[in-house]
Amino acid sequence: MKNDARFNLEAAIASWRSFVLSKRTISPDDADELESHLRDEVDDLVAQGMDHKAAFDTAMERVGTRDVIESAYDRVYWKKLRAEGGLLDEFQRRCAMLKNYVKVALRNLRRHLGFTFINVVGLALGLACYLLIMQFVQHERSYDRHHERAERIFRVTTDYASDGRHWAATSPPVGPAMAEALPEIEEVARFLPITGDVVLRREDRQFEHSGGVYADSSVFDVFSVRLLHGDAETALAAPHTIVLSQRLARTIFGDADPVGETLTSYVWESVTVTGVMEDLPTTTHLPFDFMVSMATFNERWPGAAQLRRWERFYTYVLLHSPSAREPVEQKLSAFAASFFAGAAQERDPSAPGLSLQPLLDIHLQSHLEGEYRPNGDIRYVYIFGAIALFVLLIACVNFINLSTARAAERSREVGVRKALGADRGRLVGQFLGESVLLALMAVLLALVVVLAGLPLFNRLAGTSFSMSAFFTPTWLGSFLGIGLLTGLASGMYPALALSAFRPTEALRGYGAKAGRTAALRKGLVTFQFAISVFLIIATAVIYRQFQYIHEKPLGFDRDQVVVVKLNLGDILDTVRANPETIKRELKQHPAIHQASLAYTYPGACCGIEAVRLDGSADAEAVKVRMASAVDHDYLATLGISLAAGRDFSRAAPADTTAWLINRAAARHLGADEPLGSLLRWRGFAAPIVGIMEDFHFASLHNAVEPLVVLLRPSAGDLLLVRVRAEEAEAALQHIENQLARILPGQAFRYAFLNDELRLHYAAEDQLRDIAAVFSALAILIACLGLFGLAAFTAQQRTKEIGIRKVLGAPVSGIALLLAGDFLKLVAVAFIISAPVAYVVMNAWLDAFAYHAELSTLIFVIAGGLALMVALLTVSYHAARAALADPVSSLRYE
């Protein structure tokens, strides 16, 4: 029995015991027991002839390895606690530990105020952007969800396979016929928008209002439209009944219950108020302020309800179950074939098909012809969502970068903590505690930023969110949740990386992983700037396209044309009775160049009609856009030029009716010499007298379509007036005076053509502003992070810089050295994101039939801008480090 002299059994057991005791789940009593066991084992083994060291090692092995003991004891720990009534103690201990984490975290944050500030502000900005945009996304996605039966409601649409046109509406009899033929349909409701303003009179007061619809009485059974007054069963059953929104009712009647009151109107003579409905939420694709019973329409225009090829009715069906959609769709083609079989073929030779569209998809995914109003766009929701995520990511990256950058600095702290017995879990807790605390501060600040930025955001996104929208439990919850998640997610990496340091290496200075974290940091900075550069390029391209739209010659004079809407019945009759007189009187004013009475104007033009060239070889009808009523002064007022032939002329007596067509129509009609040919439309024929240059009567999203213009001098309901730019005010005054002379006391409604055209690009307008603001924010947040990183690098390299200076390096060289590191990253970021931006933005531009070209200049400017911003950001620290006195920097330590 030879014992190794260097092995001290007692010391080994003592050290083993202290290790066992370091586990909190093992009490001193338990340790005593284990020790007594270990000693029994050792004694036996020694008795069998082992030396002390071998006996100790074998006994250790039999007792079980560290991990086995730990987990086995852990498993019974809680049970024991409960049996011994120690739960409260344990809880208090954990609370104390948490308190300690917070205390240490706060101390750490206070000691590095710059770091804390950059992190909190960056994260708060990122969070605020994210929340604002997500609120918008949420809003867009919430359309029509307030209808209880939304899942079962479908819109019926009309599909012309022959020319690929898909209409959002159907003809009037489709709905009722479907309800009769298809048993899966529970109920049908139809809407017909009332075009233009309606004047409602009550006693001697009158109220002009747009946004009315004719509606079936079943609307209350299909949609969740709640009546505050009146009976849903009967409200829209009889002719001459009207249901007002609460808002409108209050305007007209004040707070009194208006049910039973009578209003008079030019169109329906008199209507009785039979109900007041709750104002519709803004999140509806079909907003209206009042409903007139469909029976009123049927009485006023008898026979219209039977037109099978008049796609003006928005038809909604309520199915028995959402799954009934498929069987209904299968039967629809047969239904459509038989339904349209007998319909008049004249307008359009092809028979349309019908299809169903889920109500909830309409707002974001439906872009059919003749939508009730322009819908939102799911792509923009995705784009905005992506921007929100990007900005948040950039903020998180700051967090990770700044924390790992401090790793080297904190490695000593980690080493000391570990040497003092802190295990990894405790360190992870400490670091996560810090980042969660930071994140919570950021959440609070973000809330302030959101509230402060809300008005600006509302202006940008065209929304009207109120502060209260953010103070719902859901939003506050998700607010906190996202903040915590961000804190945890971005704190996780630094926590794991730092806590993994081995104490020996950590105490020596740099951690073993310093090189790897530096590489990660560089990667993340590159990622941030790649996103930023992408956003800059995207914004620039959107701006350029917008400028292009507004500067592209449209083929007509869009400036200084005023559109006067003559929806008021009495005025319209007077003007139509003698259009030449009113135009002459208008033109007498020196500020007015031209005036024209028309039915349409560019930007709000035109319906599709089927026409046929007389005498063409195959006398087949072709579909063209048609401005069905303009007068002799139309071209002159709008400044549209002629390619061939002549304008309508008062001198030519044959021009009681005549056509002008555009170049696209001339090509489309297929005649060699269309001038002088007769063009037939609905059994009516007139000669083509001129060919117009193509002008953009629709938005630049679409190529110029074939257009025909019919001379009907007194059928228009709009006055187009070209005014002298400098005297627009006087001109408007003159127009008002003239109209007031015809019918005193009427309001005068007008719009500048340019503003009307702008409405086509509202979505792009919105995208432009949002992209601009948020890419600026993204850059700002990225730069905040860069600023912090530059500060740390400069600090880390203090000594190196001192030595370089002593050896004679110039200040500029040193500054360049420091800044160069970062600029390289920005350059790499540019190389990564430029091709991506090129592809993505090209795809976006392709949505426009007419678009600006992607010039390299945009890329150069975007790259230069990112580089310059980065340079400015790091130059402060680079310069400061370079200018520092080497004596003081080298004396350090």
Binding-site ranges for other proteins (CB under 8 A): 29-30, 32-34, 36-41, 62-65, 68-69, 72-73, 75-76, 79-80, 82-84
The total of other beta-carbon atoms located within 10 Å of residue 4's CB is: 10
- Identity of the residue, 69 or 669, whose beta carbon is nearer to other proteins in the bound complex: 69
The smaller minimum CB distance to other proteins, of residues 60 and 817, is found at 60
Burial call 628-642: b when 16+ CB within 10 Å, e when fewer: bbbbbbbbebbbbee
The nearer residue to other proteins, 75 or 799, going by C-beta atoms, is 75
| Smallest gap from residue 61 Cβ to other proteins (A) | 9
Shortest Cβ 40–other proteins spacing (Å): 4
Distance CA 648, CA 690 (A): 8
If the CB atoms of residues 75 and 107 are measured against other proteins, the closer one turns out to be 75
Please identify, using beta-carbon distances, which residue of 30 and 756 lies nearer to other proteins: 30
How far is 710 from 233, CA to CA, in rounded Å? 46
DSSP track, 574-621: HHHH-HHHHHHHHHTSTTEEEEEEES-BTTB--EEEEEEETT-SS---
- In the complex with other proteins, which residue's Cβ is closer, 73 or 288? 73
Q: How far, in Å, CA of 523 to CA of 513, rounded?
A: 15
d(CA 154, CA 332): 13
By beta-carbon proximity to other proteins, the closer residue of 85 and 303 is 85
Least CB distance from residue 16 to other proteins, whole Å?
12
CA distance 527 to 520: 10
Residue 557: helix, strand or coil by DSSP? coil
Nearer to other proteins, 71 or 321 (CB): 71
Strand partners, 751: 563
Complex with other proteins: residue 32 or 180, whichever CB lies closer = 32
Burial group, residue 878, by CB count within 10 angstroms (0-12, 13-18, 19+):
buried
Residue-by-residue DSSP string for 401-462: HHHHHTHHHHHHHHHHHHHTT--HHHHHHHHHHHHHHHHHHHHHHHHHHHHHHHHHHHHHHT
Helix (H, G, I), strand (E, B) or coil at 669: helix
Q: Which is nearer to other proteins, 41 or 377 (CB)?
A: 41
Q: Kindly state the helix (H) or strand (E) to which residue 802 belongs, with its residue range.
A: helix 798-806
Can you tell me whether residue 251 is helix, strand or coil?
Answer: helix
Q: What is the CA radius of gyration of the chain?
A: 39
Scanning 501-568, the segments in alpha helix (DSSP H) are 503-508, 514-551
Which is closer to other proteins, CB of 82 or CB of 103?
A: 82
Long-range contacts: 30-39, Cβ < 8 Å, 24+?
Answer: 30/73, 34/63, 34/69, 37/63, 38/13, 38/63, 39/13
Q: CB of residue 9 vs other proteins: minimum separation in angstroms?
A: 14
Q: What sign has the CA pseudo-torsion 411, 417, 420, 423? A: negative
Alpha-carbon gap, residue 175 to 821, rounded angstroms: 69
Q: How far is the CB of 87 from other proteins (least distance, A)?
A: 13
Q: How far is the CB of 891 from other proteins (least distance, A)?
A: 55
The DSSP element (H or E) to which 209 belongs, if any, is: strand 205-209
Name the minimum Å distance from CB 38 to other proteins: 8
- Residue corresponding to tokens 């002298």: 724
Question: Which is nearer to other proteins, 68 or 334 (by Cβ)?
Answer: 68
**Closest residue by Cα to residue 503 from 495, 511, 492:** 511
Q: Give the nearer residue to other proteins in terms of CB position, either 35 or 261.
A: 35
Which is nearer to other proteins, 69 or 867 (by Cβ)?
Answer: 69
Least Å from the CB of residue 50 to other proteins: 17
**C-alpha span between 132 and 394 (Å, rounded):** 16
Q: Residue 50 is encoded by which pair of tokens?
A: 């082992």
State in angstroms the smallest separation of the CB of 79 from other proteins: 5
Contact between 822 and 785 under an 8 Å Cβ cutoff? The reply is no
Least distance in angstroms from the C-beta of 45 to other proteins = 12
* Least distance to other proteins, CB of residue 21, Å: 15
Beta-strand relationship, 718-723 and 198-202: unpaired
**Least Cβ distance, residue 64 to other proteins (angstroms):** 2
The H-or-E segment that residue 723 falls in is: strand 718-723
Q: How many angstroms separate the CA atoms of 398 and 402, rounded?
A: 6
Q: In this complex, which beta carbon is closest to other proteins, that of residue 64 or of residue 260? A: 64
Angle at 415 between CA 412 and CA 420, to 5 degrees: 130
Nearest residue to 375 via CA among 352, 359, 353, 388: 359
Which residue number, 69 or 862, has a Cβ lying nearer to other proteins? 69
Q: Do residues 296 and 334 lie in contact, with contact meaning Cβ atoms separated by under 8 Å?
A: no
Q: How far is the CB of 72 from other proteins (least distance, A)?
A: 4
Q: Rounded to the nearest whole angstrom, what is the least distance from the CB of residue 70 to other proteins in the complex?
A: 9
Beta carbon nearer to other proteins, 34 or 568 = 34
- Both tokens of 139, joined, read 């809003």
- Residue 613 is classified by DSSP as E
The first and second tokens of residue 878, run together, are 């680079």
Report DSSP state, residue 834.
H
d(CA 614, CA 412) in angstroms, rounded, equals: 94
Q: How far is the CB of 365 from other proteins (least distance, A)?
A: 56
Give the 3-state DSSP-derived string for 273-319, with helices as H, strands as E and coil as C: EEEEECCCCCCCCCCCCEEEEHHHHHHHCCCHHHCCCCCCEEEEEEE
For the CB of residue 75, give the shortest distance to other proteins in the complex, in Å: 6
Q: How far is the CB of 46 from other proteins (least distance, A)?
A: 14
Q: Which helix (H) or strand (E) holds 707?
A: strand 707-711
Q: Write down the least CB distance from residue 484 to other proteins, Å.
A: 35
Q: Which is nearer to other proteins, 29 or 255 (CB)?
A: 29
Rounded distance between C-alpha atoms, residue 893 and residue 889, angstroms: 9
